[in-house]
Amino acid sequence: MSFTYLNKIYDWFEERLEIQAIADDITSKYVPPHVNIFYCLGGITLTCFLVQVATGFAMTFYYRPTVTEAFASVQYIMTEVNFGWLIRSVHRWSASMMVLMMILHVFRVYLTGGFKKPRELTWVTGVVLGVLTASFGVTGYSLPWDQIGYWAVKIVTGVPDAIPVIGSPLVELLRGSASVGQSTLTRFYSLHTFVLPLLTAVFMLMHFLMIRKQGISGPL
């Protein structure tokens, strides 16, 4: 009886969305015989990103993005929240794994000529995703607001100061004021939890659509 009911629900959606046709199109894509484990690096990077989203979302329930409470809230997650230590540890190590897999993926794509015609745009979106991945690392590093995070932010946001004319205004834009403080943490928290994930999702979609259209690059 329950299966009949589920079949009716499936048939209702199938009639309107053609789910089976979409599934057939996805699963019928040809995979070249030269594909090996090194071609999985991009997929591993995606998996790390999804783990980041899940664990990061879980921590937003307890993290407080203020200079007076940020560090204490991280300590609370680590010591008081059920499995909080595990969630934060997975978030931290999957972030490092994501950066490593992304770097290896870039090398693999470069060595197999994945940047050549007609895959130029696939390469460009991949490079943008690499920059976004590095930005995740920089912004996330600051969120505990400990000594390491504070000075990392101070150094990173101070780099543009060497640029003539626009350097100082750019530093102030990044920090939210002339010095590193609450405005800086608020900006980095917003970037880390909203802006960067949204941009990453958009460029990932573009990247995957172009890979599906152009196919996988040739062997080494």
Known binding-site residue numbers for heme c: 40
- Quick one: which of 172, 177, 180, 171 has its CA closest to 150? 180
Give the Å distances, CA to CA, from 34 to 38, 52, 216, 217: 10, 31, 10, 10
Sequence-separated (6 or more) residues with CB below 8 Å from residue 72: 64
Residues 32 and 215: beta-carbon distance below 8 Å: yes
Amino acid at 205: L
Residues of each annotated binding site: 40, 91, 105, 192, 207
- Omega of the bond leading into 118 within 30 degrees of 0 (cis): yes
The tokens describing 176, both together, are 């939210």
Q: Which residues contact 59 (CB under 8 A, 6 or more apart)?
A: 77, 84, 87, 88, 91
Residue 6 is which amino acid?
L
Tell me how many degrees the CA angle 142-46-90 measures, rounded to the nearest 5.
50
Annotated binding site for heme b: 91, 105, 192, 207
Rounded CA separation 186/152 (Å): 15
Amino acid identity of 160?
P
